[in-house]
Amino acid sequence: MPGFRLTLLGGFRLEDGDGKEITVASRKAQGMLAVLALSSSVAVARERIAAMFWGEFPDERARHSLRQLLSSLRRDAAVVEARGDALSLDTLVCKADATEFRQLARSADPIDMEAAVALYAGPLLDNLSPKEEGFEEWLRAERDRFAKLAAEAMARLAAQYAVARDHEAAVRILRRWLADEPANEEAHCALIRALDAMGRRSEALAQYQVCKEQLRKQLGVEPDAATQALCESVRRPNSGARSANREGLPGISVLPFVNYGRTPDLDMLAKCIAEDLSSQLARTPGFQVVAQAEVAAAVPSSQGDSRHMSRARYLISGSLRQPEPGCVRVAMQIVNAESNQYVWTVQQELAAHCAKGEIDDFVARTAARIEQQLILAEAEEGGKRTAGHDAWDKMHQASSTLFSAGWSEEAVDASVRLYREAIALDPKLALARAQKALIMALASSWGLLGGNAAREEARADAEKALELEPTKSEVLGCAACALGDLGDKERAVPLLERAIEENPNNAQAWAALGAIQLLRRQCELGVESLRHGLNISPTDYRRSVWLTALAGGLVYLERADEALAAAQGACRADSKFYPAQIVLAVVLTKLGKKAEALRALTEARRIRPRLAIGEVRLWAGPVLDRPAASLGLQE
């Protein structure tokens, strides 16, 4: 059976299995093959094809013309399958580049996205000028759709390369994107950053001028304020934005969000998101956030001024666009202003007219994700320094060490040591004491830290943290959770309620409240609180712990299907958190899936080779005693 190849992107071409071109001179035949190829999952009614290409003729004449076209095409290449009154492209004998591109462009795999970019040779059926109104309308919509898919794939691919610091690859993709969309300000900004990151500052500044010229020429507008700010930061490489600010806390500057759609109704949304995000991030311990009023005043005008950047180690920029009616796509990036490297990027879609509560939830979740990325970035930067570590460096390293290495005696010891060093550097750093107390309390409860001395040290740290910062939400949340795990649940609850009152978006406090409510057998309340915390911070690095607790509460409520989803989510969230596998084994046992339960328990033992039956009972009670014994676990 011959293998035909149909090319639709960048022009039309039909080849046989040997790569020889098959001439399809009829413009309507080319168009029909495109329609059928892009409707590959469903057959297309003959009536629709006839109306699209011969809509000005009577029905019978239109059908006759279609039959003639099919007969002529069949002689050269039998690629159209006719079944009654429906037509389709025979995908068993003919492959189309457009359908392959559509699938690859939606992938998150950089290899697939690279393949998609290679396939996108230009607009759909480029150089084909339709004369039929129905086909012309269809082709215009499909060209726009494919162009957007290509742009989105290139944007994601370039961002991935930038995060991986493969700036050469990012530059290649961005130049390809700009070849298709010369006035795309987002692509210009990304290219400027990539060039500057490679030390090619003069090229980065020249690219800004290209951006400026294209925007004037094609859209009649000037570059956005954020683009001007970027140019100024490149032009003045020795400005405070690039110098380490070790006198105080690292700064965060939320730049004005760019309305790439240039639609007035998005201007207010862009402003609100930037302002609300800045306010939320102001609560992030260990960082200072430049006020939005100062940022707005300092974003370069025609004279240029970057005073606010002197305090900002991290720049958060964002953009809004409308890929289709009713939908707003928000893109955000964190850039290390000292190295001009991407730290993190994300895209999120919102309804165009969503309620204020939905915007508030979106900002809260995004702020939580940004906070985690900043803590990890600071931990990495602190680890690179051979001198000049401060208490915040040590604290960030302590939290990231534990969750990156997985819970074990060795990881807990390393984390506690770093917390002790942080406290030695700054005895008044309440959050370090509170976090240390929580880690030690949990580790003691889970059998990873033995002895009453460790529990007493944890309690002393929790009490001292509350003395130093009695109203700070983050301190209240960690210290109260530690006290609850140390057995003082009645005292912990009002402290956690105060933490939530102080900051309703404190996901850790909500999760801690839920865990303590479960311990008090207030399981419905506990499940609700845990879910609220997970919703606030859906990508939190502590998610596996919270989901494991949630699964346990759902087991108690005999909601096994929900418990299974939570336990599986906990295992996905952190493949090194062995208690999640134990709780998963409990749920599977409740569901009668004993073989799968044994596999989960086996995985828990693989993660923690020294796992003992007593540790399993901490999470499962006696439910797993028999399978644990069959695996040779010791008492």
Contact between residue 584 and residue 571 where contact means Cβ atoms under 8 Å apart = yes
Contact 629, 613 (CB under 8 A): yes
Location of structure tokens 């005693």: 625
Residue in the structure block whose two tokens are 């931990």: 379
Q: For the chain of 635 residues, list the mean pLDDT of each consecutive stretch of 10.
A: 83 90 89 88 85 87 89 86 87 91 87 92 89 88 92 88 83 94 92 87 91 93 85 65 48 88 81 88 83 63 40 86 86 86 86 80 86 82 59 85 82 93 91 96 92 93 95 94 95 95 91 95 95 86 93 95 95 92 96 95 94 94 93 87
Q: Which residues contact 579 (CB under 8 A, 6 or more apart)?
A: 407, 446, 545, 548, 604, 619
Can you say how many angstroms the Cα of residue 367 is from the centroid of all Cα atoms in its chain?
A: 12
For residues 30-41, b (16+ Cβ closer than 10 Å) or e, as one string? bbbbbbbbbebe
The pLDDT of residue 201: 85
- Helices (H), strands (E): how many in the chain? 27, 12
Q: pLDDT tens digits for 530-540? A: 999 998 887 78
Mean pLDDT of the chain: 87
Between the CA of residue 335 and those of 265, 545, 635, what are the distances in Å?
27, 29, 51
What is the pLDDT, as a whole number, of residue 267? 86
What pLDDT does 377 receive? 83
Domains and CATH numbers, the chain: 4-143 (1.10.10.10), 182-380 (3.40.50.10070), 389-541 (1.25.40.10), 544-635 (1.25.40.10)
The pLDDT of residue 311 is: 59
In this structure, what are the phi and psi dihedrals at residue 470, rounded to the nearest 5 degrees?
Answer: -75, -10
Output the pLDDT for position 516.
96
- 3-state SS track over 145-205: HHHHHHHHHHHHHHHHHHHCCCHHHHHHHHHHHHHHCCCCHHHHHHHHHHHHHCCCHHHHH
Give, in degrees to the nearest 5, the angle at Cα 505 between 503 and 507: 110
Please calculate the CA angle 416-421-424 and round it to the nearest 5 degrees.
Answer: 125
CA distances for 396 relative to 287, 365, 368, 520, 538, angstroms: 11, 20, 15, 32, 20
